[in-house]
Structures are given as structure tokens and as C-alpha cells.
Structure 1
Amino acid sequence: MTGRDAPRGRRRDPEGRRRAIVEAACALIPDTGIHGLSHRLVAARAGVPLGATTYYFTDLADLSRAALEHAAARWTEELRAWATALRDSDDVPAALAALAARYAEDRPRALIEAELYTAAARRPELRPLAHLWFDGLVRVLRAHTTPAAATATALLLDGALLRALRDEDPVDVTELTAALRTLMGDGPEVSGRR
């Protein structure tokens, strides 16, 4: 049998294997935290030989960074969806509170973000990733309020989401909506379409 005759299922897919490793590491972070990741756990979760994880990633710092970059790409997509929902809303504070509540319901995603924030405090190379969500949220919010109020609103949302994560309680949408109205003001950008 020549190399051309080999079954198609046996073809090498280096990019697919690397992606599987990254996705497995990302999926493990909510359970193990970044510091609990190991090449062995990731290989088992990805269904690849242990040596594959060290082939593609020189160390656990490299692997955890790739997993966090993968998660950050999803946050960028989420922010686009938030921008659309807020643009189409007649009540931006209420819509924003509902979006935050739905975000907090996805506990694994919220845990990954919290892990990234903590890791960035110790690993400066992760700080740009940690800023992606916050800075992107501020940009989205500036279309609906002043720059200062946009920053204050993003800070409030970060705190509300961390509190919901810490306490394993849902976000109180009524309470959050009232706080957002206070921060964002009552202008036409907030209470309705421009």
C-alpha cells in the first residue's frame, strides 16, 4: 500500500490536532483553573497522545495563553452581538442588564474570564487579553452614553458579573437596570434610539 492508498481517516491534520488541544485546555479551565492545567489532563480531554501537547506547546504557559486567546475570540463575537442588541433596543439599560444576566448564566465562560483576570495580575503578557472584553465593552457603550459613563458602566458590569460568579446567584436584572440608568443618564441615547 502506498502513501496515496492510505485510508483518509489516517491523514495527519496538525492544525486540527492543535485546535483540539486548545479547545480541550479552554474547556478544562472552568474546572481546574489555569494553574490546575496539565499536559496530561489536556491530552486526555483532547483525545491525543501526551506528547502532542508538548509538541505544539512548549510549556503550560504557552498552552494556557492559547486557550485564553481562543476564549477571547469568542468574547469578541459576544461583544458584536451586544452592540447589535443595544443598537436595536428602545431601553438600553434594561437590555444591557438582560445581556449581563444571560452572560452570567454561562458559568464556565464567566469562570474563564475570571481566571484570565487573575492570571493577568501575575503574567503581564496576558494583560492585553484581559483588557479585550472591558475595552470592547466601553467602545460599545460609548454609542449610548458619555465616555465617562461608558467606563463607569463597564466597571459596574464587571463587578456585577464577578459577584454573580462568586455567589453563584443570578444577576438581579431589576437592581442592575436601576443602577445602569443612574450611571448612563436619561438622554435619548439611553432610553431610546437616536
Structure 2
Amino acid sequence: MCTFVHIALCTIVRMGKTDTPQTSHNTIARQTKQISQNAATSRESSSNHLRHNDPLRRQRIIEACLEVIATKGVNGTTHRAVAAAANVPLGSTTYYFSSINDLIYRSFEYFMIQSADTFQNRMKRAKTQTQAIDAIIGTITDDLLSTQQSLAVNLELYAAAAHDARYRNITTQWMAKTQHALQLHFDARTAQLIDDIIEGATIRRAMSHPLPSIEETRAEARDALSRLLPQAKPTK
């Protein structure tokens, strides 16, 4: 664009040589302003074209960021790595997000909202406390621990929250949403204790070597819940 403006200005100067100095100056000023306006319009048009032709690009970038976080950790997450994972131009990540920290934060926030909504839907579908207990165990084994990516993103969020208060906003919201959903079936204190069991079971499995099987984790979660809720004991 700089070359284009330079050529245009040179042309204007040559055209203005027959004018008086004041007329030439005014002509150059007007035409320079028009060139700048045209360039700005072109940039805005390009941005609108990007948004209109790929409305899901921002979402793809967030999902790709979660993949990168799961494999490389927060410290290894860069604009370049996310752009490659999302298969988008590098400039797309900076277009939608003000910084890499903003992108990471929004990705964790999205992960939290999706997880909390899934749990809430499980609790809403449960009609009894027994069904709610089954749903809680399902959350641990089928949602939070269903894939290595889910497990890794969980742990990365915990680690980020331990170092940065901004991420504690996300974990605090997550706990509040979880306990609110649990209170569809349990009192507030019991809901808090159940949430502790969910968090503990998730972290324990992640930190164990070798990893316990899903069946073992399910049995341990039911045992822990049964010590708080007698109706959680497995039927023989």
C-alpha cells in the first residue's frame, strides 16, 4: 500500500505543477486524504469479507487452542501453533483475540461453559437422587475423563488458576455452576461435598501411574459418594 500511495502522490505532484503553489497544495491534500480513505475502506472490506465468509473461524480457533493446550501446555501455546492446528492464517488469531493470553482465557472459559452445561443437563434429566448419583459418576468417567484432551485441559486450567487470579474466575464460576446444578437434588452443603468428590476423583486419576481404568474410577467414585450418601451404595 505504501508503494501505491507513493506513486499516487508523485502523479499528483506532476499533475499539479501547472497550478499555483496554493492550488497545488490544496489539490495534493485533498487527493492524499482520498487515497487514505480508500485504503481504509479496502482494509475494512477485507475484514468484513473474512467475517462473512468464515463465521465459524473464531470457534475453530478456540477449539484448536484447547487441542494445543492439551498437547503443549499453556506455556507452549502460541499464536503460530494455534493457527496451524486450526488451519487458518496466522493473522486470524490476532484478528479475533487481542493477545495469546486473551485467546487462552477465552478457550478455558469456553471449556468451562461447555462442561458446566453438560453437567447441568445431566442433573436436569435425573428424576431421583439415585439417578442423580448415576449422573454424577457419569460426569466423572464419561465427561471429565472421557478423553486425554479433556483430562489435560482440566489440569492445565487448575495449574493456571494456581498462578493467575484471572483463571480462578473461571474455576470459581465452574464450581458455582456445578453446585447450583447439584442443588436440584441435594442441599447446599451436600452439593459442595459432592463437588469436592468430583474434583478429587478427577485429579487423583490424572496423577496416578499407571492410570486406573475407567471401571476402577467409577467404582471408587461410587464408594466415595456412598460414604456421604447411603443410597449411592451399589446394589448387589
Alignment partner of 1:43 is 2:83? yes
Give the secondary structure class of the aligned counterpart of 2:184.
coil
TM value normalised by structure 2: 0.67
Two-structure CA RMSD over aligned residues (Å): 2.5
Alignment partner of 1:12 is 2:53? no
Percent identity of paired positions between Structure 1 and Structure 2: 25
Over residues 108-145 of structure 1, what are the superposed CA-to-partner deviations in whole Å (9 max), with x where a residue is unaligned?
12221221121112121121211233222212222323
- Per-residue deviation at 1:88? 5.2
The match for 1:152 is 193
How many residues are treated as equivalent by the alignment? 179
**What amino acid is the match of 2:227?**
T
- Per-residue deviation at 1:180? 0.5
Alignment partner of 1:28 is 2:73? no
Over residues 48-74 of structure 1, what are the superposed CA-to-partner deviations in whole Å (9 max), with x where a residue is unaligned?
222222233232111101211221221
- Per-residue deviation at 1:30? 1.0
- Any stretches of 5+ residues in structure 2 without a counterpart? 1-48
Inter-CA distance 90–185: structure 2 relative to 1 (3 Å threshold): closer
Alignment partner of 1:166 is 2:211? no
Inter-CA distance 144–88: structure 2 relative to 1 (3 Å threshold): closer
Inter-CA distance 147–157: structure 2 relative to 1 (3 Å threshold): same
The match for 2:147 is 106
| Residues in 2 aligned to 1:180 and 1:20: alpha-carbon distance in whole angstroms | 37
Inter-CA distance 49–98: structure 2 relative to 1 (3 Å threshold): closer
| Residues in 2 aligned to 1:88 and 1:134: alpha-carbon distance in whole angstroms | 22
Verify the 8 A CA contact 1:137 1:154 in the aligned structure 2: yes
Give the secondary structure class of the aligned counterpart of 1:12.
helix
Verify the 8 A CA contact 1:100 1:161 in the aligned structure 2: yes
Verify the 8 A CA contact 1:153 1:184 in the aligned structure 2: no
TM value normalised by structure 1: 0.79
| Residues in 1 aligned to 2:206 and 2:118: alpha-carbon distance in whole angstroms | 18
Q: Which has the higher contact order (CA 8 A, sep 6+)?
A: 1
Give the secondary structure class of the aligned counterpart of 1:172.
helix
**What amino acid is the match of 2:207?**
R
Answer with 1 or 2: which has the greater Rg. Answer: 2
Match of 1:69 among 91, 95, 109: 109
Verify the 8 A CA contact 2:120 2:178 in the aligned structure 1: no
The match for 2:162 is 121
Give the secondary structure class of the aligned counterpart of 2:50.
coil
| Residues in 1 aligned to 2:60 and 2:136: alpha-carbon distance in whole angstroms | 33
